[in-house]
């Protein structure tokens, strides 16, 4: 393994850790000596990587530091392209634009050989006929999820009855024909799934819900019997 590859590998190991990684553990995984590991840590810190820690305790890469896209393999680029094509087929205008922008940013910094791999991806997704059109702005829903804020919605049930509810939105599920919004429903006192095409109106209340979204998602996945290992 070249030194450049080893340094990038070290960054990747630190990026995946949420708790301090000891020098012994990192050195073992990289197949280098402790002395070499210390030198590599110092080199990365000199180059701007926000690595906190010290010998004997462990090292943590501060949140916000990202690896350069030059690390992408041909298969990783194909996965990115497949994902962007899927979004282009099933996402709303905001998501389609975001996917296109992300691909262009990656393309701009790739070396020629990887840029060719991006242009000649071998995977694609079929065209499909969308289900019922949505009447509300999905960007508002996504913003509420990211900001952990309550939404008030008008929802038409399968029976045709329309109700007004306040929910704590946590997840949007993209299926072949429909979109499902998962959230805690205050009127039902439980998690509920709502077909987005049946939401006739919504209002962003600006009020935060009382629990962190990560906790709510964990509780919802538990009620659904969804293993956390299933998520990407």
Look up residue 214 and give its two tokens.
Answer: 């990560």
Largest CA distance in the chain: 70
Look up residue 195 and give its two tokens.
Answer: 């077909």
Per DSSP bridges, beta strands 199-208 and 51-54 are unpaired
DSSP state of 69: G
Give 130-156 pLDDT, tens digit per residue: 556 788 988 899 999 999 999 999 999
Angle, helix 112-119 to helix 74-90, in steps of 10 degrees: 40
Quick one: 61 exposed, middle or buried, by C-beta within 10 A (0-12, 13-18, 19+)?
buried
**pLDDT band per the 50, 70, 90 thresholds, residue 7:** confident
Q: Give the phi and the psi of residue 44 in degrees, each rounded to 5.
A: -65, -40
Other Cβ atoms closer than 10 A to 195:
19
pLDDT of residue 117: 65
Give 68-94 pLDDT, tens digit per residue: 545 666 677 778 878 887 887 777 888
Q: Whole-model pTM?
A: 0.61
């Amino acid at each position: 393994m070249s030194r450049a590859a080893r340094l990038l590998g070290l960054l990747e190991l630190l990026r995946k850790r949420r708790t301090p990684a000891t020098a012994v553990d990192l050195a073992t995984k990289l197949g280098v000596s402790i002395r070499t590991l210390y030198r590599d840590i110092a080199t990365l810190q000199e180059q701007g990587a926000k690595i906190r820690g010290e010998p004997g305790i462990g090292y943590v890469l501060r949140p916000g530091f990202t690896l350069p896209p030059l690390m992408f393999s041909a298969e990783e680029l194909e996965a990115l392209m497949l994902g962007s094509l899927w979004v282009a087929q099933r996402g709303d205008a905001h998501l389609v634009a975001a996917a296109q922008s992300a691909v262009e940013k990656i393309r701009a910094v790739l070396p020629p050989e990887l840029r060719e791999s991006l242009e000649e991806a071998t995977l694609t997704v079929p065209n499909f006929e969308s289900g019922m059109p949505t009447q509300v702005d999905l960007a508002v829903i996504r913003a509420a999820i990211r900001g952990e804020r309550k939404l008030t919605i008008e929802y038409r049930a399968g029976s045709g009855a329309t109700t007004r509810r306040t929910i704590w939105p946590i997840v949007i599920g993209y299926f072949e024909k429909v979109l499902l919004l998962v959230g805690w429903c205050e009127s039902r006192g439980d998690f509920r799934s709502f077909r987005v095409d049946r939401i006739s109106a919504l209002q962003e209340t600006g009020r935060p819900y009382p629990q962190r979204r990560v906790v709510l998602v964990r509780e919802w996945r538990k009620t659904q019997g969804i293993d956390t290992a299933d998520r990407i």
